[in-house]
Amino acid sequence: MDNSIALVTGANTGIGKEIARQLAAAGLTVYAASRDAGRGERAVAEIGGGTKPLMLDVTDAASIAAAANQVPALDILVNNAGISLDDKTPDKETVESFRWVYETNVFGVVGVTNAFLPALRQSAHPRIVNISSSTGSLTLAGGRAAGGFAAYRSSKAALNALTIFYSHALAADGFKVNALAPGLRRTGLNPVAAASGGDPAEAAAGAVYLALLPDDGPTGQFLSWDGTQVPW
């Protein structure tokens, strides 16, 4: 994998930063994408290796296009950038809040993925990894007593659907497209995550596994960080 190139969105902190770190440690050239140039450069300085900063705001079409112009060839895309709001049920959430979350977690993934498809199509082993959440599982949601974090959870359910659709659309071109449930990790996603003791590096290892899948590996799957399947 020494000659492979990866791009990780939201790579200046949390799980994204750990994914970039582990991919770089595996010998890849890694574009650590961040919407804040300063934070991105600091993350790259900390990670070292073959990492490069890339300014990329997944909610801004011009930013996406500019970033895509800087990456002519790509083997791996990790759609990690994501946001969450407070623990509100849908009846207490606003339409504006849903739009804000979906702009990053859903529309941003479509925008970034489509913009980088020309670069990915040049790869002999193109891989796309979407960082989802087990809270986006409709099967598991049926057994939950509350519907909190409705905007976030429903956005991840939409992301899971996109994972399936992209896996079908790109299968003939050799793509492997999968979604990862990283588990609750100690990140700045929301207060619940911030209070968690879960190590982001553990979740990142699951993403790296999917990023480096062999050609006979799975596609269109929803996997937990430990490799087990998560029901859609």
| Identified catalytic residue from 31, 52, 102, 156 | 156
Quote the tokens at residue 94: 């606003």
Tally of domains within the chain: 1
> Residue 229 domain-assigned?
no
> Residue 230 domain-assigned?
no
Whether residue 56 contacts residue 35, with contact meaning beta carbons closer than 8 Å, is answered with yes
Q: How far apart are CA 47 and CA 174, in angstroms?
A: 30
pLDDT tens per residue, range 51-89: 999 999 999 999 999 999 999 999 999 999 999 888 889
Q: How far apart are CA 144 and CA 82, in angstroms?
A: 23
> Is 102 an active-site residue?
no
> Residue 171 domain-assigned?
yes
What does pTM read for this prediction? 0.94
| Identified catalytic residue from 31, 152, 166, 209 | 152
* Centroid of chain to Cα 114: 14
pLDDT tens per residue, range 110-128: 999 999 999 999 999 999 9
pLDDT at residue 50 above 80?
yes
- Return the closest-CA partner of residue 117 out of 155, 82, 80, 79: 79
Whether residue 137 contacts residue 179, with contact meaning beta carbons closer than 8 Å, is answered with no
pLDDT tens per residue, range 149-179: 899 999 999 999 999 999 999 999 999 999 9
> Is 31 an active-site residue?
no
pLDDT at 199: 81
pLDDT at residue 6 above 80?
yes
- Domain of 103 in residue numbering reads as 5-224
> Residue 231 domain-assigned?
no
